[in-house]
Structure 1
Amino acid sequence: MDQLNLGLAGGDDFTDVAHIFYNAAAEMMPGQMVFMDGFTLEDAMSVFEIGEPRLDSGFVPPGEVRREFEPLQPLLPEEVCWILDRAFACEMEWHSGNMLAQTVFTFLFVHHLAVIEPDAVPMRMPQSQAEFARPIELITVVVRAAVWGMLKCCDLSWRELSKGNVYDGEDWQGDKCDVSLLENTTVRQCLALLDEAMYWISNTHRIPVQWRDALYSRLLMRKYLLQMMDANVYRHPSQFKSLASMCREQLRLVRAFPSPAPSPESPAHAVLDPAVSRRLNTFVPIRIHELPPQEQTWKTMSSLVDGWSDIYRLSVTTDVLSWEIDGVTTSWLPSVPPKLPYIRSYIQSVFYDGVLVLNRFTPNWLVNRFSIEIIGMPYDAFVTNVKQRWTRRQPPLLTNLEDMFSDLLVKHVRCHWFNPPRKRRYMMQSLPAWHAIYDQILSIVSRLRPTDDSLAGEHVPATWDALVDRTPCAVLMWRTQVVRDVILSGFQLALYSVNEIPMAYWYLVRVIDTILTCVDSLKSVSACHDSVVSLELGYTHVLSSATQLLCMALFSLTIRQSTIPLSMQRSSFDLRHKWAFDAAYAQVATPQVNLPRFEDYQADLEDILADKDFSPRETVLHAKALYALLLEGDHAGGWAGHARHHRRAVLKMLHGACTLLEDIPSTVEDITKLDRTRLKWDPSANPWFPALVPQEAPVGTSIEDVQVPDPVNPC
């Protein structure tokens, strides 16, 4: 009987009405659906929210009591300082991918801007010492200006994020819940309010000096953030660079003087309502999101400021390979935190705004840069040489090739600032287009009049004829590097099962072999061994050779880790490499180079197990020596530019991976004696290669627990 007192909706006098629905659906076929005009999937999802406490964002748990928020409640300067810090935390959490209703809109002053207008609040003289220490101007002038600045920063960020470079609902959350972000307010108005608030702080005598400085620093930080988001790196590059430096310095000052958390009885805590979504216009059940510690907020803001510095550096970089290297090496380094979606979108906009590349070049300019940086020959020289040596009556279709090539280069460079899963997906989808370009260039070159300088395999002077004949190798090398990155991304995203890991290492060995063949062909016609093109090819050759050796050793090492027989692995092999057999390849005459075939995998597996002379340990040591060679001196140069330090960090990471694998078996026969649990893959420490932890290491030991000596200074 006690259950009758629970107050269930509708009581307990229920009537079974299931037969009504059975009769109504009697004429429907299994799987058939009925749609109604105006009833959307969003409406259907909203049905589940009603009455279900776990999903109902408006549900108030029994016993929950929240302090009433009073916008004009006088506050101490230190309480206001803490409130401004939490406003920064709300904003940075939105930039980190949470919803506005979970972050910025939980800051309740956002919904009471009209209440705290100075003109709406009657001014009166303080009647006591307590009132004197809590000037109402801290709310109507300081907090109001800070909230205006925060909302305008969110508005400017929202406009950049909504360009489509990153994806709403995937990288960021754009639902405004019908709350204003001051879209119709100008940046100049917000800056004027901030200047007014800073002027008041500087001239008031009702705030202790230390809190005047703290409040002033936070408002100045807000002003710099607003100016940065309103700045244009191409319109005023020196101002953009200067603002980024000022933001960094101001952030350092703010972090140096943290604000203490108010006492539990302080009314400042009522400013934040994590469950504010109960009162907002939203269709999605929203969980309560706890704001992180303030130090984490400053780290996120530091990442934002560093991103602006990267934007300026990239905006003055006109080498396509420098952009490529920067994007690739940054994504390869687990020690480099991923860039915020706002920064990733901004970088893509800086590279291509839909009309111009780098704000001053047409997309076809990229083809010329590709030709210069990969081959060492301007694209105009390529076109002229092709026309002079053309042997057919109909002219070559170069215009269509150039347009398709430039479009693919734009998308390829920008994809390095996608999120990792989407970047992998795009790269897989772009491979047929790269193969089509390779097919067209190969077809054009095959129809040229041969010359003595274009004999394959001979070291000849770098004439235009010889370079033109090697152009297909340049495109094939680029495409094969995309294949390499697709395979490597599978390790970073932890996609491979135990049985698929040896397949991935095996295919990497074959793919890198194609890269080395292309590099050798291009190097054979290099005009100057001291040129940037030659240096870049030399770096690529050594790096690829070392990585191939390491993959070969791990291929032999992980074969025995498989948990199913070889005869049962074909389906897994075909499923993992289905992207290599896209239907679009059937429309291209030239067959793919180095297709992943299970028969080849099976043959190579048997060969390496039967090779008595192969030593996994010696192979790793050889790879380590090659990485050390690149680390000596300045071999990470080439087209790296400002990304040189990232290149060196990647080399150190790979050198360290070899160090952690030095104790692997010396012979193939000894692999069977290796305890498979000693191989630890940890993408947060090394994205591609495992560590061999000591035999006596406790369960749960990670790669970070294993000490790796400095490759340059082992002592």
Structure 2
Amino acid sequence: MNSDNITDISNGLANFSLNDNHDDASQQSQFRSFDPEPPPAPILHSQGVIAMDITKQFINAAQELELGQLVKDPYFTLFEAVGALEIMDRKMDSGYLEPGETMDDNYDFTLVLLPEEIIGIIDQLLCHEMAWHQGYPLSQTIFTSLYIDRIMMPAPVTLDQTLFDRSGNAPDEEPITMQILRAYCLGLIKTCFFVNDKVKAEHYYEEEDFVTHTYNRSLLDSIDHAEIVELLDKTVKVIFATDDFSQDMKKTLIARLELRSRFLTAVEVATSRTSPALKLVWTSLGNCIPRIKMSVDLGKPVPSSFSVKLQRKLASTAPPRPIVHVSQESAFEHLENLCRDAVTVVEVLKYYDSRSLLTFVTLFQARKPQPSVYVRTLLQHYLFGDMIMLGKMSIRQILDEELSTMTLPASMLLDRINDEVEVPSDPRFNIATIMETFRSRAADTFIDYMRTICQNRCRIRRTLCHAITDWDNLQLDAEQLDVELQAFTKEVPIFDEIISTEPIYSFPLSSWAYYYKLGQMEWTVQMGFELEVYQPDELADMYWYLQYLARNRSQHLERIRGFTVPNGGGIAASDESIHRHAEYGKAGLFFNFSSLEAAATYGLADALSGLFTVLNRLSLLPKLPRPYGDAKMRYEVRMKPFLGIGLPELVSLENLKQLVEQPRQSILDLLDLAADSAAAAKKAFEIMSRLTPEEAFCQGSHASWLKNVKDCLKAAIFTGITISTVRKAVIAAGNRVELKIKIEIPESGKGYHDWWVVPKASSLA
């Protein structure tokens, strides 16, 4: 049965009447008529039913509800909710037809388009493709193209089956303009296949990040990409040889075909972690964009070649949705960012050390705008695809280097010779067994942590709130393994009566896990500022808790340093090997940098906490009404990620209020303390900004790291300026209640740094 017969049948069903004996006026069925007026209320005739109009009573009752109050009938279940969906409502029923409307678009695919129209369609398809990359489904973007639908239905297995005109003409007889459009569409579909396949292979969040649903359509799975690239190249040669187009038109069409060919090549090669052409293909793709942007005015839109009706043919239970329209400026900007981020993400394959790797991933994910989902899935693939780190390393190598840098430099616990010992009575055999137990336990937690960093910003924070518990459990497990190792390493404990009357052991494995846990707890709080989770009157509390966590991390670093680096800061003894010298030297650099970074964090956090405490006292911060909660409930919500954590000890609400508000301190005293903390943070950030990539463990991402540090330095400087401005206003006001000063809280992304909310103070005339 051909398509024309199907159209006739569809039209016949749409015009079908149940009573053929009526005249023309009475034959207008519900399928062909439309009455904008609602039908009259049914007249009920029953002794048990009394009908009455409750409209006024309902409106009066609704007005009594508070803003945000929810009234729910517990017996109105999902079944009743689905039953309430209206059939024949164009918003809910994808099969609904307007009077005289048919199921099909009846688009003429034998029509030969002008080259200007080809450009217009291609540019619109590029906008739809970028909309898909931004998270919209295919049903509202690429699959709304009638030409794309024509190629995919039915699923072709050869290029000859992808012709638009299926009246029996040979492929050689295809008009050149239609060959150009067909080649571009084939390249687009195959590009979507590679992108979709890669996203599905990694960790992402459906509907939140990306929609991989293809609605039971095949994205040219049976056609090799090399055939499509060959067709694109062949079409470019045909354009060169033809005399039907002007030179400007030739350049415009060729530029679009070259972009499609390079895009297809890039996504096909991108999964390789060893190809030397990874950066080149993305750079080449980015170089095509300016030429296309300069020629968009030559295109002529063909809106009839896109239709929302195609959603009716897709295997979907969702109600009909409108076509997503993304501007050409936005589409080009997104494509340029994608190419730039793809070029940068390839740099992760250059391995320097484990700390530099973590720095690279963290800074890359913090870029503005954040890298697209496809680039983030490429990052996951490069990091631990097939459970091979960076395509050449095992997770054991990364973990051992982490332990060597932080808690076990030049330690016998990490000696590979232990694995070759097969005598159970040998301590090295038992050490190898215990260490392997720890690695197997820590590997999953560490990889989950790396995978978490590769998500979107909101999801990172949400996942970290749960991951902290995993690191806490890992710390407890590691403590038990540390105790078992003491029997085989014959570790000599330290005795310090100031700290404890009991012998003090190093606990290297649990110390490593505890350091990571503290870092993630800090990060959770800091991302709360970035994502504007906290209200202005809560900033003092949360910055105080941030400095509390940073101080604990600083103290923990000093404890590790005492067990790790001899004499508290030297390197290995002179008789140690060169290798041991290098490991101790690297550990020393790590402690110096991490201690400096922790000091800068708690200094600036302490300064902001004191500043916001003063602003709260002076009633200069807005306080939103909270009719559904109190201080205790807000405290439980903010501290929920840390409620189940044993160390560091959670500060109670009563103690937190005392430590933050410091009622015994005057306003000027609080401002003086905050100014000192801001000055100390400024000095620490200045020192950090002068560190080399090796000293800062940011090899491969030094430029991004330095920009981040300088932004933090700006935040510290302007914090000091704001404190000074407020102090002058307080002194000038004397005993007066009102201060002639205005405080502005910048929105996220508009301040000096997303993690440091620095209020802006300005004097009122």
On whether the aligned pair clears a TM of 0.5, the verdict is: yes
- Quickly say closer, same or farther: Cα 1:192–1:115, change in 2 above 3 A: closer
Q: Is the 8 A contact 1:49 1:285 kept in 2?
A: no
What corresponds to 1:38 in structure 2? none
Note the C-alpha offset of 1:409.
Answer: 0.8
Task: Find the aligned partners of 2:509 and 2:49 in 1 and give their Cα distance.
Answer: 68
Deviations 1:187-230 (A, max 9, x none): 12222221221221121111111221221121111111111211
Q: Which runs of 5+ in 2 are unaligned?
A: 1-32, 51-72, 152-160, 498-503, 572-580, 732-736
Give the equivalent residue in structure 2 for 1:571.
Answer: 633
- 1:520-559 mapped onto 2 (5 Å cutoff): 520-524=558-562, 525-526=564-565, 528=571, 531-559=585-613
Q: Which runs of 5+ in 1 are unaligned?
A: 23-29, 36-40, 127-134, 459-465, 586-590, 699-715
Q: Aligned residue for 2:700?
A: 642
How far did residue 116 of structure 1 move?
A: 3.7
* Aligned positions of 1:237-248 closer than 5 A: 237-248=275-286
Q: State the match for 2:256 in structure 1.
A: 218
Alpha carbons of structure 1 residues 6 and 432: separation in structure 2 relative to 1, 3 Å: closer
> Partners of 1:283 and 1:502 in 2: how far apart?
48
Shift of 1:160: 1.4
Q: Distance in 1 between matches of 2:552 and 2:297?
A: 60
Taking a change above 3 Å as real, the CA distance of residues 6 and 674 of structure 1, as seen in their structure-2 partners, is: farther
> 1:137 maps to which residue?
176
Secondary structure of 1:12's match?
coil
Alignment check: 8 A CA contact 1:364 1:402 kept: yes
Q: Give a deviation string over 1:378-401, Cα, whole Å, max 9, x none.
A: 67634789999989x999844332
Per-residue Cα deviation, 1:301-327 (whole angstroms, up to 9, x for no partner):
122222322342213326332332123
Kept in 2, the 8 Å contact 1:547–1:623? The answer is yes
Aligned in 2, Cα 1:562/1:301: closer, same or farther, shift over 3 Å? Answer: closer
Distance 1:385 1:105, change over 3 A: closer
Percent identity, aligned pairs only? 16
CA distance in 2, matches of 1:294, 1:286: 25
Separation in structure 2 between the aligned mates of residue 594 and residue 679 of structure 1, nearest angstrom = 34
Residues 416-445 of structure 1: CA deviation (Å, up to 9, x unaligned): 111222222221212122122222333344
Equivalent of 1:420 in 453, 457, 468: 457
* Aligned pair partner of 1:79 in 117, 140, 146: 117
2:327 matched to which residue of 1? 293
Q: Which amino acid aligns with 2:111?
A: Q
* Compared CA separation, residues 291 and 564, structure 1 to 2 (3 A): closer
Asked whether the 8 Å contact 2:376–2:455 carries over to 1, the reply is: yes
What TM-score results when the alignment is normalised by the length of structure 1?
0.79
Match of 1:605?
A: 660
1:455 is the counterpart of 2:494: yes
Larger deviation, residues 237-246 vs 215-224:
237-246
2:243 matched to 1:205? yes
1: CA distance between counterparts of 2:607 and 2:330? 40
**Structure 2: which amino acid aligns with 1:693?**
K
- Checking the alignment, whether the CA contact within 8 Å between 1:375 and 1:467 is kept in structure 2 is no
- Write the deviation string for residues 430-476 of structure 1: whole angstroms up to 9, x where unpaired: 21221222223333445626979753789xxxxxxx99655543322
From 342, 364, 369, the equivalent of 2:396 is: 364
Q: How many residue pairs were aligned?
A: 651
How far residue 680 of structure 1 moved from its aligned partner, in angstroms, is 1.1
Q: In the aligned structure 1, how far is the partner of 2:47 from the partner of 2:653? A: 55
Partner-residue secondary structure (3-state), 1:14 = coil
Asked if structure 2 preserves the Cα contact closer than 8 Å seen for 1:68 and 1:270, the reply is no
1:150 aligns with 2:212: no
The corresponding residue for 1:407 is 444
Alignment of 1:506-521 (within 5 A): 506-521=544-559
Q: Which stretch of structure 1 is more off in the superposition, 471-480 or 426-435?
A: 471-480
Relative distance call for 1:636 and 1:508 in structure 2 (3 A) is farther
Matched, 1:377 2:409: yes
Question: Is 1:592 matched with 2:657?
Answer: no
Measure the CA separation in 2 of the matches of 1:230 and 1:467: 53
SS in 1 for 2:395: coil
Q: Separation in 2 of the partners of 1:47 and 1:635?
A: 63
RMSD: 4.3
Residue 338 of structure 1 corresponds to which residue in structure 2? 370
Which amino acid in 1 is paired with 2:758?
A
> Which segment drifts farther, 80-89 or 528-537?
528-537
Offset at 1:517? Answer: 1.2
Partner of 1:310: 344
What CA distance in whole angstroms lies between the structure 2 residues aligned with 1:124 and 1:577?
67
Amino acid at match of 2:762: Q
Residues 8/294 of structure 1: CA separation in 2 closer, same or farther (3 Å cut): closer
Question: For each residue in 1:496-541, what CA deviation from the matched residue of structure 2 results, as whole angstroms up to 9, or x when unmatched?
Answer: 1234322211110110001111222344433549844433332222
**What displacement does 1:608 show?**
7.1
Aligned position for 1:70: 108
Quickly say closer, same or farther: Cα 1:366–1:74, change in 2 above 3 A: same
Task: Give how far 1:412 is off.
Answer: 0.5
Q: Does the 8 A contact of 2:270 with 2:378 survive in 1?
A: no
Match of 1:679 in 2: 744
What is the aligned partner in structure 2 of residue 713 from structure 1? none
Cα distance change of structure 1 residues 542 and 149 upon mapping to structure 2, 3 Å threshold: same
Q: Please name the residue that 2:512 is paired with.
A: 474
Q: Tell whether 2:693 aligns with 1:659.
A: no
CA distance in 2, matches of 1:677, 1:73: 66
Q: Deviations over 1:101-126 (max 9, x none)?
A: 11111222111236844775648999
- 1:275/1:184 Cα in 2 relative to 1: closer, same or farther (>3 Å)? same
CA separation of 1:576/1:469 partners in 2, compared to 1, >3 Å: closer, same or farther? closer
- Displacement, 1:236? 4.5
TM-score, normalisation: structure 2: 0.75
**2:698 is aligned with what amino acid?**
A
Are the counterparts in 1 of residues 742 and 761 from structure 2 also a CA contact under 8 Å?
no
Deviation for aligned residue 1:338: 0.9
CA distance in 2, matches of 1:653, 1:427: 24
Contact 2:259 2:285 in 1 (8 A): yes
AA in 1 matched with 2:237: Y
Deviations 1:548-578 (A, max 9, x none): 1111122122231484999952221122212
For 1:154 and 1:18, locate their aligned partners in 2 and report how far apart those are by CA, in whole Å.
Answer: 61
CA contact (8 A) 1:512 1:548 kept: yes
Q: In structure 1, how many angstroms separate the alpha carbons of the residues matched to 2:46 and 2:533?
A: 44
Q: Distance in 2 between matches of 1:412 and 1:124?
A: 53
Contact 2:202–2:380 (CA<8 Å) still a contact in 1?
no
Distance 1:570 1:626 in 2: 36
CA contact (8 A) 2:110 2:164 kept: no
One-letter amino acid of the counterpart of residue 682, structure 1: E
CA change 1:508–1:80 in 2 (3 A) is: same
What is the CA distance between 1:407 and its match in structure 2?
Answer: 0.9
| Amino acid aligned to 2:467 | S
- Between the aligned partners of 1:568 and 1:487, the Cα distance in structure 2 is 21
CA distance in 2 between counterparts of 1:537 and 1:394 reads: 26
Q: Which residue of 1 aligns with 2:363?
A: 329
Moved more, 169-178 or 558-567: 558-567
Matched-pair contact (CA < 8 Å) for 1:441–1:472: yes
Quick check: which has more Rg, 1 or 2?
A: 2
Is contact 1:665–1:674 with CA below 8 Å preserved after alignment? no
Report if aligned partners of 1:78, 1:260 keep a CA contact under 8 Å in 2: no
